[in-house]
Structures are given as structure tokens and as C-alpha cells.
Structure 1
Amino acid sequence: MDRAALTATLEDAGLSPYQADAYVTVLELGAAPVTRVAEASGVPDPRIYDVLRDLESSGYIETYEQESLYARANSLDAITEDLRTRASRFTAATEEIERRWNEPSVEQSTVSIVTRFETVIKNADKFIRDAETQVNVSLGIEHFERLRPALAAATKRGVRVNLSIHTPDGSTESLPDADTLAEVCSEARHRRLPSPFVAIIDRTKTCFAPHTGSTNEYGVLVDDRTHSYVFHWYFLTTQWDTWEPIYTALDDEPPIDYIDIRYCVRDVAPLLDDGATIRVRVEGTDTATGDDRVVEGVLSDVVVTGSTDPTGSETVASYGGRVTLIIETDDGPVEVGGWGAMVEAVEAQRITVESIE
């Protein structure tokens, strides 16, 4: 670093131009008369004593009498430590600025728009690792490996993971094999079209980014049940329901678990019509109190509203209206709804069909 750069750096550290110039001169001369310091620096003679006095007060130099007034650099320990502290603060500030730019706090807003896809992926990874009940995710092959450890950890904890993998050309050559899929999800489907990235976690958090062909790179982070519900329907109708499974760990024989009431109703309604006795267990939330609630009993009826009765339809989009299970318990009938239930007594998080007779 040359003299000019060193002087400029000292000015950035808080010294005035005259103080920085005088201090560098003292370093170069060693112990020297004040008059010599004034001659070798650019500090005017009338100012040199005030400048050196300020440097001495700050601990940079010390002055002493020897025929005339001399100046010399003070111990470097305090000065270098001060500069290192300042440098550390600048480094920390730089890192914090980058963090705030890349990862705006989702807690500060229900919906955040971010400028980098990397931010979307990092938040999706975190949310999936914290998932408790369910994860719905649609991604490309290039992002599968990035989220694979988080998906595997969630699956191992018993979280229901629905994985939709899309490929631009519809090819199946690069898809993960069955053993790999068994580690990372409960069920996987292959969408043979390019698609945006979307992950919906525990009905509350959503990470979304347009597909790679989009003109602008941006992402959406959501921490809100209402907004996440919109993305949930987008996932079901475009990324999931219309595509055939390429892997499933789910069994057609009881006990059968459902995380979406509509799929449950689609499967059990025809059985009820045929006179089957279906025993179910529901883990959910009491809509009046918000407390966790478990309901067990025999399914007596299903309620599906809409312009036509969609019972038995293969497409879950047909169940866009009210969908309710009526369960006969020891304490009487209980109405159970799905995500966002308002008129039912319980909002179901997980429905288990325990037996069918």
C-alpha cells in the first residue's frame, strides 16, 4: 500500500486529512522534531502543534522535550487493535447487508418478494427441515439434489411429502430411481412440462419462483395460511392431480392416511354408497378454540357441495366446494372439514381410514 492509499485509509478510520498525513510522516521519520514533521508533511506550520496534540490525545503519538519538542509514534498495539475492530465492524456490516438483501425476514411480512432464486431455495430448505405434518413441492431435476437432504429428513420424521418432478422435454431418463424416491417422499409424480418451483409446508409457508424461462428472476415467500391455500390449489390442479404417480409408499389397504380431505372423500364416498362401514381417526384442530383435537368413530356421511355432485370423480378439482366428513362418535356426530374449515367443528390435519367392512 503506498503512502496516499495508507493516508486515505486512515481518513476512512476517522482521522482528519491533516492528522492522517502527520501520523504517516511520524511513522516514516521515527522520532523527529515537530518542525521536521511539519516540513516533511503537508500540514501548515500554524496547524502542526494542534494536529499533533490531537494525535497524542487519541494515543497515536507521544511528544517529549529534547532541545526542542519531538514527536514519535506511540505503541502500535492500541492503534492496530482499533483498526482491526473497525475492519471487523465493516466486514460484519457488509455481511449483514448481504443477508438482509438476500434473505428478507419472512416474519416481518406475510408475503415477501425477493430478487434471487437462491433466496427461495434457501428458505424452502429451512422450512422443509422444520416441517411437522406435510410438504408439497414441485421442482426440476436440478433443484432436487439441492433439497434432497431436507426432504429425506422430513420423510424420516414421518412428514407426508408429495413430490412433483418436472422435466422440460418429458424425458424419464434423469428421474431419480425408486430407492432414492423412497428416501425423500411419500409419493412422487412426473410432470412432463416445464414448471415454476413451488413448495407448500404445513399449510402455512410457501416458496415460489417462476420457471427458468421467465424474463425476470424473482421469488415469493409466504408465511400465511390464506395465501398458501391459493398456492396449494395451484399445486393440486397443475402439478399433481393430473399426473400419474412414478412412486408411492401409500397402501390401498387400511390403515390409509390422508392429508387432504378431498382425496379421502373421493375414495370413501363410493364405499359408503355401497353400504360399507368405515372407521376413521382424525387428527386436527378445533375450529372454535384452536386446540388440537382427535376424533374417532364410524363415518356416517360425506357432504360435497357444488353445481353437480362430483362424488366418485377422479379429479380433485371437482371437489372445489364444501367437503365434510360426518363421524359418529361416542359423544354424538362430529363434522370434520379440510384446510380452512369454518362451518365444521374440526379442521382435519390427518385422516386415517382404520378399517373398511
Structure 2
Amino acid sequence: MDNTSNQDQAIELLQQLGLKEYEAKSFVALARRKSGTAKDIGETSEVPQTRVYDAIRVLESKGLVETQHSNPRMFRAVSIDEAVNTLRTEYVERAESLRDALSGLEPTDDESVTEATHEVWAISGDQGITSRTQQLIEGATDEVILVIGHESIFTDQLAELLNGANDRGLNVMVGTVDEELQSDIQAKLPGVSVFLSELDWVSRSPLPGDDTEISRLLLTDREAILVSSFTEARRDEREHEQGVFGRGFDNGLVTIVRRLMATGLLVENDPKKGEA
């Protein structure tokens, strides 16, 4: 990635973290030099000099920029690590405030209505699917069964979640359809049962013209299921990952997947196998 690409990405990410365009451009301009005047910042960032001062005031209030009251005034960005930590803290605080605000909303429907166990919901994009995966694994109380269809799914974060579930005493089983991937995963999950799944259709469809790959198949406590997939042509575009989620022991989707897993010898020699 060249300097221009890095700069554009940094500006975009800063805006996603809450800075306005001129604030993000001004901070990036300062991060590229030891210090600078408003004129220096304007020339580097292409922010009008009259707007640089407004941007700097905001950056100062957020603890991202320091000022030397000389003539002319000099500004410098805090270190990269300090800036990232400051923005991370603010992001977390905003997220917690959002949680409180949303939790305080009055429901508009009947709270006495119980969740229907036959319902299936769609989830799109890697972030949403990853978040639901984390929620299911952290909420599991007895068992986690995960089949990984593509190596990109197995991240350090997922490894940490699975090791954490195993440390909590849960029965954790991870299946793959590739021996090399099985070996890599086992090295990162030393206390977890990692096996070679017989569900070959996870990574390759038996149907002609079907290039869809199942990226993950997660079953927790035998009553919640998450299945995600993407097409082979777009496997590197994780924002296009699609998923379906269902909950309830008698949910049709959960029942089908639970029995497919048993058929695929995923739970061979498991005393609960007969409960499917």
C-alpha cells in the first residue's frame, strides 16, 4: 500500500471513529510531521487555513493534538499509540452509552409474546456474522460444535473464544474439511477436539454450477444454529458473506443441521447422540 492509499485509509477510518473530514485530514497531516503551523497543516492536508483552527480546537479537546503558544502557534499530534488508545476509549464509551440508551427504550409490542422457535433470520456481512458467532459461543453453557469451511474464518479472535469456552468446561468440537487446516487449528486449540469432518459438501457443492461455499456452521447447546456462506468468486470479499440464524431445539433448521452433523460423524461416540 503506497503513501496516498495509507493516508486516504487513515482519513476514512478516523471519520468512521467520529472525526469530521477536516479534523481527520488535519490530524493525518500533523501525524506525518513532528510539528507544524496552521499554514503547514493547510498545505499538507488541503484543508482551508481558516478551517484548520476549528479542526485543531476539536482535536485538542479530544486529546489528539498539543499546542505550543508561540508566534505563530505550533501544533503537533500525540503519538500514534496514544491517539489510537484515546479513540478506542471514546469509541467504547459511545458504544456503552448506546447500549444504555437502547436498553432504556420502551417496547412498542407485547413483552409477553415469546420468541417463536420456528423462525429463521438472515444476517449479512462479516461483522454481523462474526458478532453473532461471538454471542453464541460466549452464551453457550454446555456444547459448541463448529465446522469451518474456509481458513479465513479461523481468526485469532475465534481461537480465543473457543479456548475460552473450553476453559469454562464446555464440550468444544471443531471440524474442518482439510487436513492441513485441521493441523493448524489443532496447534492453536491444544485442549479442543479438532477433527476432519465428513461433511464434504461444506466446501464443495455436489450440484453443477453451484460455487457457494459454506464458510462456517456453528451449533451451540444443540438449540442455536448459525450457517454462513459466500460464493467462490467473492470469498475474499467478506462483506458479502451471508448467514442464517435459528434458535430452539425444535426449530426445523436447527433439527436438520443437528441431524446432518450426527450423520457426518461429528458427534460420534457422544452419549448425547441419541438425543438428535
TM-score by length of 1: 0.35
Q: Which has the larger radius of gyration?
A: 1
Highest RCO, 1 vs 2 (Cα 8 Å, sep ≥ 6): 2
The structure carrying a bigger helix percent of its residues is 2
TM-score, reference length from structure 2 = 0.43
Higher strand share: 1
